[in-house]
Structure 1
Amino acid sequence: MATLGYYDVILKPVVTEKSMNLMADKKYTFLVHPEANKIQIKEAVEKMFPGTKVKSVHTMNKDGKTKRRGMVYGKTAKTKKAIVQLTAESADIEIFQGL
């Protein structure tokens, strides 16, 4: 596996009703690279968003769904989601502010 840069680790934020409710507790949800580990996710968040300090990282792997197109079966890509909790004195992440 090639080394992942911190800009390769976080793919995009997850914007759902549940993730918006978690923001009150300083928990932010991101789609991350499937091969990234918790340490890489923590470093990427702290480098990409200045002033943030990560308290913990929870990850979950989701397998791809089975899809059918005609008589051919296939699978969609597997994904990985990370819920990042910031410390109490940490700055908020700006990309979620206007949502």
Structure 2
Amino acid sequence: MEKRNNIYVGVFLLGLTGVLIGVVVHSPMLAVVAGVLGSIIGGFIGWLGGRFYLVTICVGVLIGTFIGYRTGDRDILIIAAGSGAAISGFVANFIQLFRRK
């Protein structure tokens, strides 16, 4: 049951992130494609048991988006959101690496 919940959380979080990327860029087709790809990747990460990893990435996206939004430029907003997700993904990997020891 726990693994199934992780899969649902992954599909929801990364699928929603993909749809929001399409909304920001004002492209319905990109929203659908990015939503589907995000759902597939999120389901795989959830299947592997990465709930902490998914939540950490979403927090990084929110922080990066907030910083990018403050600049007032849409292109910087997209880059800042992606950078926030990437940096928080690295941080999550390091945290999980050190928690196992």
Scaled by the length of structure 2, the TM-score of the pair is: 0.26
Higher relative contact order (CA 8 A, sep 6+): 1
Structure ranking higher in strand proportion: 1
Scaled by the length of structure 1, the TM-score of the pair is: 0.26
Larger radius of gyration, structure 1 or 2?
A: 1
Structure ranking higher in helix proportion: 2
